Structure formats: structure tokens, C-alpha cells
Amino acid sequence: MDADLISKKDLLEQTGISYGQLYRWKRKNLIPEDWFIRKSTFTGQETFFPRERILERIEKIQAMKENLSLDELAEMFSPSSGKLISKEEILKHGIASEFVLNFFLEQAQTKDQVFPFEDVLAIYMLEKLLHSGEISIEEGKMLLQLLHNTAESFSVDHSQIWLIRKFGVSSCFLLKKAENILFEKETKIIAKVDLMQLADELKMKLM
């Protein structure tokens, strides 16, 4: 069986949760429907999950359910949020520095003081990548252009942003449900961002 998957039986044993808890969390949208993967095995149809994602999600639910209701957790884990976030909140919660925020505003050619969640996610991604030195300012501009060009089809769930570089020339792209991607040997992967994981981090900062 695919090493990236975990069976329902093994999941329940490893995490100590019950069958009822698992499906209650599913009904409450704490665990996405498409993480429940039905596969044929020698014993018949069985349910599997993306191993890393489901274990991380259950760990978070278990750690936070004493302080948050299931509805509050569902809102936190939703792929996006309808709430507008102000410039002051972005700075106050340490989501981005004033430099990165102003860089975003300059590239977006806007003077907005409040932002939708998707824009704040882009700002947060820029902050992390620029602050770590993984990307240059020019590559930051390229990432923002990519997000602008893919805005209509943009989805946090199962999406990744990749930035690659070959012989000093950079390129970036948005991948959905990426697996088994191969590059020429001279190509270096400079940055790889899981947007759902990044969105979860951002929502934690906004709480």
C-alpha cells in the first residue's frame, strides 16, 4: 500500500480516537471529505487517508478542542475565511513586517487598508520566504504575479506553490494534488509551500 496513505484501522489505533469521533469531525467539516479515500484491497473496500495531513490535523484537533468548539475549529480549518483583515491586524499579529506589507501594496497597486484572507495568505507567504532568504525581491514579484494570474482558479486545498531555479533563471507555478514531479538534474527547488498548511498557520496567528 502507498506509504503516503494510512488505513482507517491504523489511524484509529495510532491516534486513540474512536470511529464515532472521526465521522463526527467529518460531518463538522474538521476533516475534508476528499481525505476519505476508498480503495480496493484483498479484503474488499477500505478507507485510507493522506497520512501526513490527517495525523497533523487530528493532533491539532485534540490539542485545541478543550478551548474551542467544533464549530470554531471548523471555521479555523476551512480553506479560506470571509473575514476582512486590516493592515493594523497584520502588523499586530506579526503576520508580516511593514516592509513586506508595503511591498505587497506596491505590487498590487492598491492603497487598501483591509484585505481578504487570500491576500493576507500571500502576504504571509512573502514574509516567510523573503525573511528566510529563500527568495529574492524579484522572485517575490513573480510569485505575486502568479497568484494574480491564477486568482479565478485559486484554491488552498491540495495546492502548492513551487519556485525553481536553473542556471540562475527562476520560475514558479501553482500545483494542485502534486505528486511524482520530476525535474532536470540541474534544476533546484528553491521553495515549496503547502497552501493549506500555511493557511492553518495564519489562522492560528489571527486567533
CATH of the domain at 45: 1.10.1660.10
Q: 91 and 68: one domain? A: no
Q: 127 and 200: one domain? A: yes
Q: Give the whole-angstrom CA distance, residue 155 versus residue 136.
A: 25
* Per-residue pLDDT band at 2 (split at 50, 70, 90): low
Q: 119 and 60: one domain? A: no
Give how far Cα 75 sits from Cα of 12, 30, 39, 62, 72, Å: 24, 8, 29, 16, 5
Query: pLDDT tens, 14-26?
Result: 999 999 999 999 9
Q: 166 and 111: one domain? A: yes
C-alpha closest to that of 53 among 89, 11, 13: 11
Q: Which residues make beta-bridge pairs with 161?
A: 174, 193
**Crossing angle of helices 98-108 and 117-132, rounded to 10°:** 120
Structural domain that includes position 33? 5-77
Final residue belonging to a domain, choices 77, 106, 136: 77
Q: 153 and 53: one domain? A: no
Q: Give the whole-angstrom CA distance, residue 50 versus residue 159.
A: 14
Q: 17 and 107: one domain? A: no
pTM for the full model?
0.70
Q: What is the pLDDT of residue 99?
A: 95
Q: What is the pLDDT of residue 205?
A: 82
Report the pLDDT averaged over residues 75-81: 69
Do residues 48 and 4 lie in contact, with contact meaning Cβ atoms separated by under 8 Å? no
Q: Give the whole-angstrom CA distance, residue 170 versus residue 133.
A: 15
Final residue belonging to a domain, choices 77, 93, 123: 77
Q: 68 and 143: one domain? A: no
Final residue belonging to a domain, choices 77, 98, 124: 77
Do residues 22 and 60 lie in contact, with contact meaning Cβ atoms separated by under 8 Å? no
Cell of 39: 480503495
Highest mean pLDDT among 3-12, 67-76, 95-104, 166-175: 95-104
| The total number of structural domains that make up the chain | 2
Q: Give the whole-angstrom CA distance, residue 90 versus residue 150.
A: 24
